[in-house]
Structure 1
Amino acid sequence: MINLNGQIVKEQDASISINNRGLHYGDAVFETMRYGNGKIYFWKDHYLRLKSSLKILKMESSENFSSNFLKQEISKTIAAQASLNSSYRVKLLVWRKAGGKYTPFTNEVEYAIMVEALASLTYPSNIGAYKIGAYDEHLVSSGELSTLKSNNRLINVLGSVFAKENGFDNCFLLNEKNNVVEALNGNLFIVSGKTIITPPIQEGCLNGIMRKQLITIVKSDTEYSIKETSISVMDLHNADEIFITNVIQGVVPVSRYNEKAFEDKVAKILLQKLNDLVTTN
């Protein structure tokens, strides 16, 4: 069951206009969230990012499109599932209403909410071997639009095809300055000594929710310092450790990049602190 503009319908019965602007122009944004323990993890950050994205894209949500309204709609969608589960992946998709070509007829929005059951309340710690490559056939633009979770994800799709063809679990993405920006499905962190480094938002990486949580954890509850600065391909080779973050998997340690194997000590420490955070708050 999915939620389409407030109506709970079977997935096979859900329909949108063939003139949907998300389909035609990528004129849509989304939030991917993790639900567990009866709550959406880091909901406030998700909601504020969504509202900021709508403002940047000049989409106009009604006064009813509030934090409480959306939380209720997500809860309603979860309650409608045939088999209730304790943990879910939630996707909230928002698009500008149909009409117009590049110039829209209206800036008002519609939405859909989809959920998918997850195996555990906590972030997984048994990722296993995780081999990553670099995808540089197309580059991320270091501009504000690249930081949004919009429907324009072609580079992520092509990078995923490349990863599958070459036996990688994931790939790094580079920007036009040949700096490493992020992974296909998450933000990038490297460890060098007692310093944890992640690219600044200005490099074109996603303004990730888990990125924000990890920066806060490192600053307040570890012996490591955090530094937001550009990362080169050589920095990857010289790193002691590399890990990727997103709201569904939490912290994913990279075990191998090219021919180098990496530790996962810091990733395990941060993952435990992250799981403590979501299970106690």
Structure 2
Amino acid sequence: MVNVNGTLVVTTEATISHANRGLNYGDAVFETIRVSAGKVLFWEDHYFRLMASMRILRMEIPMSFTPEYLEQQVLDTVATVEASNNAIRVKIVVWRDEGGTYTPDTNNVSFYISASVLENAFYTFNDDAYEVELFKDHFVTSGLLSTLKSNNRIINVLGSIYAKENGYANCLLLNEKKQVIEALNGNLFLVNGYKIKTPPLSDGCLNGILRKQIISILGQLPDYILEESAVSPFELQKADEIFITNTIIGIQPISKYRKKEYANKVAKELLQKLNVKARLG
């Protein structure tokens, strides 16, 4: 079942209008969330990112959209899914109500929540071969809008098709300045000895929830220094490790980029600390 504006509806009966603004103009934002054993992981961060995204897009935030209300809507939706390991992937989509063309008739919003089963209750380490390549056909524009989880993800779609057609596990995206900003499905971290580097939000990378958690964890580890600065494609082959973070997979180490193969020691260490934080947070 899916949750449409607070009402649980059988999936096959949940439809949208041909005039839906998310469909017609990409006038929508979304959150992808992991729920484990009935706990919404990093809910506060997800909630405030969703509210911030709605404000940036000039959407009217309903008075009912409190953290408690939306969390309960998530849990109500999760309760309709049978999962033996209690691990659920949840997606919340919020769109501006229909009416108008580029100029909307209203800034009021509607939402739906869907849920599906995940394999593992918490984040697991995947050290299988994971080769990536740069996707250079199109570029992400640096700036605030690119940091949002909006429905404008066509570059990610095209990059995913390119990766599939060429046998890569993932691709890395560039901005208009030819700086590496992220993977198709998550934020990027480069490891050089004790130095760890991630692109800044100003370069156009997603304001990721797991990005924030990893930065927080690294801030508590005296053995590492974190740097948020632009990443050149030439730096990729100089790194000791490169890994991707997102809410669903946690941390995915990259094993190969072109002729360079990478270790995964730091990624494995951080994943253990991330799981502890997810359980306690």
Structure 2 counterpart of 1:77, one-letter code: T
- Report Cα offsets for 1:136-176 as digits up to 9, x if no partner: 11001001100000000000000000000110000000001
Q: Is contact 2:81–2:117 with CA below 8 Å preserved after alignment?
A: no
Structure 1 residues 26-56: Cα deviation after superposition (integer angstroms, max 9, x where no partner)? 0000000100132111100001100000000
Matches within 5 A, 1:61-140: 61-82=61-82, 85-140=85-140
Q: What one-letter code is carried by the residue in structure 1 that aligns with 2:93?
A: L
**Secondary structure in structure 2 of the residue aligned to 1:276:** helix
Once the two structures are TM-superposed, the CA of residue 97 in structure 1 deviates from its matched residue by 0.3
- Unmatched 5+ stretches in structure 2: none
Q: How much does 1:73 deviate?
A: 0.4
> Are 1:215 and 2:202 matched, yes or no?
no
Distance (Å, rounded) in 2 between the aligned partners of 1:227 and 1:20: 41
102-111 or 125-134, which moves further after superposition?
Answer: 125-134
Letter in 1 for 2:272: Q
What pairs with 1:154-173 in structure 2 (closer than 5 Å)? 154-173=154-173
Matches within 5 A, 1:1-281: 1-82=1-82, 85-281=85-281
What is the alpha-carbon distance in structure 2 between the residues aligned to residue 127 and residue 183 of structure 1? 17
1:41-83 per-residue CA deviation (whole Å, 9 max, x = no partner) reads 1100001100000000000021001111000101111112255
Q: Distance in 2 between matches of 1:92 and 1:173?
A: 25
221-230 vs 161-170, greater mean Cα deviation: 221-230
RMSD: 1.1
State how far apart, in whole Å, the 2-side matches of 1:279 and 1:111 are. Answer: 28
1:102 aligned counterpart, secondary structure? coil
Superposition misfits of 4+ residues, deviation over 3 angstroms: 82-85
Report SS of the residue matched to 2:174: strand
Aligned length: 281
Distance (Å, rounded) in 2 between the aligned partners of 1:266 and 1:84? 31
Secondary structure at the aligned position of 2:177 is classed as: coil
Change in Cα spacing, 1:44 to 1:255, as seen in structure 2 (3 Å) is same
Q: Distance in 2 between matches of 1:78 and 1:58?
A: 29
Go from structure 1 to structure 2 and tell me whether the alpha carbon gap of 1:83 and 1:230 turns closer, same or farther (over 3 Å shift): closer
8 Å CA contact 2:171, 2:184 repeated in 1: yes
Give, in angstroms, the shift of residue 127 of structure 1.
4.3
Q: Tell me the distance in 1 between the aligned counterparts of 2:45 and 2:278.
A: 14
Give the match's secondary structure for 1:238: coil
Preserved contact between residue 160 and residue 170 of structure 2 (Cα < 8 Å): yes
Unaligned runs of 5+ in 1: none
Say if 1:22 and 1:95, in contact at 8 Å, map to a contact too.
yes
CA distance in 2, matches of 1:212, 1:38: 22
Asked if structure 2 preserves the Cα contact closer than 8 Å seen for 1:37 and 1:279, the reply is no
Letter in 2 for 1:205: C
Q: What SS does the corresponding residue of 1:91 show, helix, strand or coil?
A: strand
Q: Is the 8 A contact 1:78 1:84 kept in 2?
A: no
